[in-house]
Chain A
Amino acid sequence: MKVLVPIKRVIDYNVKARVKSDNSDVDLTNVKMAMNPFCEIAIEEAIRLKESGTATEVVAVTIGAKASQEQLRTALALGADKAIHVETDEKLESLHVAKLLAKIVEQESPELVILGKQSIDSDNNQTGQMLAALTNRGQGTFASKVDVDSGTVKVTREVDGGLQTVELKLPAIVTTDLRLNEPRYASLPNIMKAKRKPLEVIAAASLGVDLSPRIQLVSVNEPAKRSGGIIVEDVAQLVEKLKTEAKVI
């Protein structure tokens, strides 16, 4: 079984995004970038499927500028067998990404696609579901457990108020939630080996997808700041303030 794992290069999760002074966007110049945390979980799950003998090949794919090859090399160092870079300098929306990925799915015919549920930059939480729609596959979103059987995959989903388990016909799409696994770190020898693994570059424009914008970014602003509070001495003062000043208890 072949597993395709789309990944994304995003701002490092420890870095606080700053808004540009002209309010046109978030300023990413000289900001540390990394693989989106949910994508790391997706790669990890695919590699575990390979280690358990369920998957035979893990293919990582990313869509973006040349720099995103860095994250593909990370995926290869973690254990992916080959990587595909769909190169574009355009700022793409989830729908564009899903359409480009649908082309890669057509080309690679994976039985399972595992993606992060959301990227921590645009916070859209859309791509996996859209890819499932465009490829007419079942979707198991926000997965905390993935069990592949012959011809099906059981996915336990993190839903409001508990867990829901669904069974999908393969081929299918799964998106990862936090508790699915704990991603490993790449070892130095594996990082060296990753440099020799195959990385195919495809121009996004060659895939025949309409990439014209559907959403116009009007402006980006800082959120309203909370005014600073006070430090209370003890529990008695805290309860007193909550009762008489804040009047919330």
Chain B
Amino acid sequence: MKTLVIADHDNGQLKPETSKTINAAVKLGFAVDVLVQGADISAMANDVALIDGVSCVLVADSSAYAHQLAENTADLVLSLASDYSHIVASATTTGKNFMPRVAALLDVAQISEIIDVVDAETFKRPIYAGNAIATVKSLDTKKVITVRASSFDLQSDQAAAPLTTIDANLENQLSNFVSVEQTESERPELTAADVVISGGRGMQNGENFALLNGIADKLGAAIGASRAAVDAGFVPNDMQVGQTGKIVAPNLYIAVGISGAIQHLAGMKDSKVIVAINKDPDAPIFQVADYGLVADLFDVLPELETAL
């Protein structure tokens, strides 16, 4: 029994989800190898080797994997799969994209977004927007698993594990990369930030999100949004926190003008401390908030920025 983790990165920077996914993989109880795939990835491969619990780093460095397209990433993982009982990746948009493809090609089920490892074949995962937690047991001989990284801790460091080069250069005949539009931001990533401040429909328009900037600067916070704010076109979808967006669990989550729909709560209710600012005292967000402030956000936000 041996576990293969596929590292998550954004072509240059290893994502913190990788370390947290390795934390989950170590809990399975077997040796953990990590596949790093992409183009010009040697620095990241060296970083992975230093994560505690990693036995061996498999390095697939090729222009064929430059954009981490699902089609050949899945083929690459498949070519390595025979050595492993468990194949694990983060439930990021990259992992969610290629892992079900791997599972189907192996003819096994995928266990999505686990939040706890009960034993090597039994896992907990949220269903129905986190309104229920299912304990599921995999009956397949090979387990394909994605991990909700926010439910696991970062691993500490270790002396570097050995690196192995994977020569397979699997070209992809089905899809081509065209372009990428990276959201430019000086702020921490939503899923990695210690503090998150999010705006909802109560922000009224996209320009008003600027009211969150000063507070985010002072707290070193990432800025998020509810699905309602995304649906209304205030902000881009990659800011969405919720069942269908990003799942966050920061030390401090500040919800501004967010009513607290089921699907939003699913994305943030595991935060350590939740603050809600809303002028509607009956908003469901107050039921999960540690500190609620019933007030007009347009009065309160400038005040809060000054007070910090």
Contacts and interface: CB of A to CB of B under 8 A. Distances in A.
Q: Indicate, yes or no, whether A interacts with B.
A: yes
A231 B176 CA distance: 53
A132 B101 contact: yes
Interface string B120-161: 001000111111111111111000000000000000000000
Contacts, number: 267
B71 interface: yes
Interface stretch (A56-64, A105-113, A154-162, A190-198): A154-162
A91 interface: no
A138 B174 contact: yes
B70 interface: yes
Interface string A1-41: 00000000001010011110000001000000000001000
B214 to A, nearest CB: 14
A91 to B, nearest CB: 12
Given A220-B133, A220-B134, A248 B251 contact: yes
A244 interface: no
Main secondary structure of the interface of B (DSSP, over half): mixed
Interface in A192-249: 213-223, 226, 228-232, 234-236, 238-239, 241-242, 246, 248-249
A235 B132 contact: no
Contact of B291 (A126, A136, A238): A238
Contacts of A94: 100, 109-110
Nearest to A236: B307
B304 interface: yes
B81 interface: no
B101 A129 contact: yes
A134 interface: yes
A66 interface: no
B97 A129 contact: yes
B171 interface: no
Contact of A162 (B133, B238, B244, B269): B238
B93 interface: yes
B128 A164 contact: no
B82 interface: no
Interface in A52-100: 93-95, 98
A10 to B, nearest CB: 9
Given A161-B10, A163-B181, A123 B112 contact: yes
Contacts of A158: 93, 237-238
B243 A123 contact: yes
Nearest to B129: A120
Nearest to B105: A133
Interface size class of A (residues with CB under 8 A): 35 or more
Interface residues of B, number: 91
A10 B96 CA distance: 21
A122 interface: yes
A95 B107 CA distance: 8
Contacts of B264: none
Given A11-B128, A129-B104, A223-B132, A159 B140 contact: no
B128 A17 contact: yes
Contacts of B174: 136-139, 168-169, 172
Which residue, of B127, B286, B287, B289, has the highest number of chain A Cβ atoms within 10 A?
Answer: B127
Nearest to A121: B128
Given A235-B293, A249-B308, A179 B131 contact: no
Contact of A138 (B175, B178, B288): B175
A125 B113 CA distance: 10
Contacts of B300: 235
B178 A178 contact: no
Interface string B172-185: 01111111111100
B131 A166 contact: no
8 contacts: A94-B100, A120-B263, A154-B178, A162-B180, A165-B181, A231-B292, A235-B304, A241-B291
Interface of A: 11, 13, 16-19, 26, 38, 93-95, 98, 117-118, 120-134, 136-142, 144, 154, 157-169, 172, 177-179, 213-223, 226, 228-232, 234-236, 238-239, 241-242, 246, 248-249
